[in-house]
Structure 1
Amino acid sequence: MDRRRTGTLMGTLVTKLKQISLLWLEGFREACCFHRVITYCLRSRELAIRTGQCFLLNGFFFLGSIFILRSFIIPTLQWILPDGCPHISPEESCSSGGILRFHSFLRFGLVQLFYVFWFYPLYIFSFILNTIWYNDIAKYGFFAIEMGYSGTKSFSQNNLPAEQNTTDRDGKATDFEGVMIGIAEQVYSILLLSFFFLEVYVTGFIPYIGKALNFLLLSWMYAYYCFEYKWNFSGLSLDKRLDFFESNWAFFAGFGGPCVLAIFLYSPLVSYGVMAILYPLFVMTATGTEADKLITSQRKKWKGAGFGRIPIFVSADYLSMKVLSLFPVDARHQQVQSTKAL
């Protein structure tokens, strides 16, 4: 009897793992649908320009600067300020140890000056511009997709349907109360993701499982970032997007997987440059992904079976609510109460 029960449990576990893997692969595949980017850029000139600007700034200037530093500047400094004594035989000892230490110190100082006066300002400049451009890319990408659905020749942010200008798709009125709720949701969302990022950083120091757990949490974080643009433009309320995300964690873990690979494969500066190039592409693939339909179609094959909801943001939610409680402004509006069906 126990053996039969154990066999049944093992069979159920294997089936669940197979379903989770398939949904993870579905998310991974959707993230890599870069052919959509070409289609959207052909539909929207503004989108093509913004995407090209991201490639130029992050690929040509930022990664190009790293390439020049490592391939030309550092080797040139090592040639001018060598580490060893030239023209001596192995039997002879170098008597200019102080000079070599001075060479090393001077070379290090010159490289640091390059970082201080070029890399760090370029990093800050690119970070600010990327933040603005990513929002534009998501906006133009969303409009390009809407244009594809409507079959119209031209579409801009000023041509939204009248009913979408007055109410969003969840029926949230854009009066003063609606605006305050929207602001409160944005503040809460920023706090939530900030604390979640801190949580991701801390998990990286856990022995043995830290790297794997870090990869999983980062995958979820980047997947949420990518889909948040679409959810904002479509008017999906914060509580619904969190519920949908946490209820379909396997799909979003797969979608965020390709986004995180650059962080683990390269050094921090290079990974930032690579990620800055790839991130807008993932934003556009997320915007074009009909995650709800994909997940529903998969569950129909499994007769509606689910995997349960994982409270991914529970710790970040707790800390965010503690911070918000320090500001007893009614504008935060029991907003976060409704959100807090977490």
Structure 2
Amino acid sequence: MGIKGILAAFLKGFYHSFKGMLVITRLDKESNERRSRHSPTIRQKHIDGEDSPNTPRKKENSKVIIKVMQCAMLNGGIFLLSVLIFEYVLLPGLDKLFVFLFGDETFLNKVIWCWIKYILLLIYKTLWLVPMFIISKIINAFWFQDIADSAYRYSRGRPVSFPSISELFADSIFSIFVQILFTIQANLINYILLHPVGYILYMVQLTLLHSLYCFEYKWFNMGWKLHERLAFIEAHWAYFIGFGLPLTILTQLSDSLVISGCVFSILFPFFIISGNEASPVMDASDVQLQFFSLVIAFANTFFSNVIGSRQRHQSTSLSSAMVYQTARVQRR
């Protein structure tokens, strides 16, 4: 289709990425209506002895919107707000207080404030930042999965199960490993190549990675193995670059990894829903961007040489080079 087709796929992906913010309200409304149709009436409940006829029925909220609100409260209302208050209110406020008490350039002010700031940062990071980061990551993982599974069941039905628990575990571990390697690859390209070429390729890879994050829950529930998921993204890269661009830009606005992580965790549930509802453009280009090929080859080599024998490697990685190449052709 040429440049015009690539641009159209990119713009459609960009548009689809925002659909989750609109779809979530519709999912909640339709979920409540569906419950109302299948729930017994107040009168029937009274006859069955379940409730009093004068007891008002509480409006039931869908699981999706509840989890999204919980994510926003944990990551934005608690974690992000505490970081902003400490870094941009408490520390600057104490700095100005010491300037007022001891003067700006006095030796006493510099020494005392240097030590107090160091102690405060140590206490803050040790007792709050690190534990909160770990706890939020664990909670977010469960909430993201709940949001994805609930949205998938509502719009697409029952998820497809993996053949075995061992394959499920192996696919998950291998996927995480590949994502880590891909992040390292993107950063290396950014540092090695000259600006702006390196930065553009860095951003392109981040958009693909963020698209993988958003669609992986859906594809996982559809029973797709990792090599199928990666091959599909490489084959239809124009759409996925557009889809992943908004989340990539929003998480790159701050230089702080903590703040960027909080922003990601607040917005990510909406993009999960967008990915669940989206229908990728599949005929934009015949060219495949093979950004994942290097990390797949490295990951295969690592699991085969470090973890165990070739037989274990085959059951762990779930994707040899031949299967990976075949999947890329099939998904075109």
**TM score, norm. by length of structure 2:** 0.78
Q: Deviations over 1:170-190 (max 9, x none)?
A: xx7x3xxx5444443333322
The AA in structure 2 aligned to 1:336 is S
Matched, 1:228 2:209: no
Is contact 1:184–1:333 with CA below 8 Å preserved after alignment?
no
Question: Could you tell me how far apart the structure 2 residues matched to 1:312 and 1:103 are?
Answer: 48
1:137 shift after superposition: 1.0
**Of residues 182, 185, 189 in structure 2, which corresponds to 1:203?**
189
Is contact 1:188–1:336 with CA below 8 Å preserved after alignment?
no
Q: Deviations over 1:30-67 (max 9, x none)?
A: 00112012222342622122111101100100111023
Where do residues 76-91 of structure 1 align in structure 2 (5 Å cutoff)? 76-82=93-99, 85-86=102-103
Q: Deviations over 1:231-256 (max 9, x none)?
A: 01111233332222111011111111
Quote the residue 1:186 is aligned against.
172
Question: Could you tell me how far apart the structure 1 residues matched to 2:77 and 2:135 are?
Answer: 14
Across the aligned residues of Structure 1 and Structure 2, the Cα RMSD in angstroms comes to 2.5
**Of residues 88, 94, 110 in structure 2, which corresponds to 1:100?**
110
Matched, 1:270 2:259: yes
Question: Could you tell me how far apart the structure 1 residues matched to 2:260 and 2:187 are?
Answer: 16
The AA in structure 2 aligned to 1:49 is I
Question: Could you tell me how far apart the structure 2 residues matched to 1:183 and 1:273 are?
Answer: 27
Question: Could you tell me how far apart the structure 2 residues matched to 1:276 and 1:73 are?
Answer: 24
Where do residues 1-342 of structure 1 align in structure 2 (5 Å cutoff)? 16-33=2-19, 34-42=21-29, 43=31, 45-82=62-99, 85-86=102-103, 96-146=106-156, 160=158, 174=163, 178-206=164-192, 207-208=194-195, 209-268=197-256, 269-291=258-280, 295-296=281-282, 299=283, 306-326=285-305, 327-328=308-309, 330-333=311-314, 335-337=318-320, 339-341=323-325
Is contact 2:24–2:65 with CA below 8 Å preserved after alignment?
no
| Aligned residues between the structures | 287
1:332 shift after superposition: 4.3
Quote the residue 2:55 is aligned against.
none
Is contact 1:74–1:111 with CA below 8 Å preserved after alignment?
no
Is contact 1:83–1:100 with CA below 8 Å preserved after alignment?
no
Residue 205 of structure 1 aligns to a residue whose secondary structure is helix
Question: Could you tell me how far apart the structure 1 residues matched to 2:201 and 2:101 are?
Answer: 44
Runs ≥4 in structure 1, deviation > 6 angstroms?
A: none
Structure 1: segments with no counterpart, 5+ residues: 1-14, 89-93, 148-159, 300-304
Question: Could you tell me how far apart the structure 1 residues matched to 2:190 and 2:122 are?
Answer: 28
Question: Could you tell me how far apart the structure 2 residues matched to 1:184 and 1:117 are?
Answer: 34
Percent of aligned pairs with the same amino acid:
23
Question: Could you tell me how far apart the structure 1 residues matched to 2:304 and 2:100 are?
Answer: 58
Question: Could you tell me how far apart the structure 2 residues matched to 1:75 and 1:315 are?
Answer: 46
Cα 1:105–1:231 shift into 2, 3 Å: same
The AA in structure 2 aligned to 1:129 is I
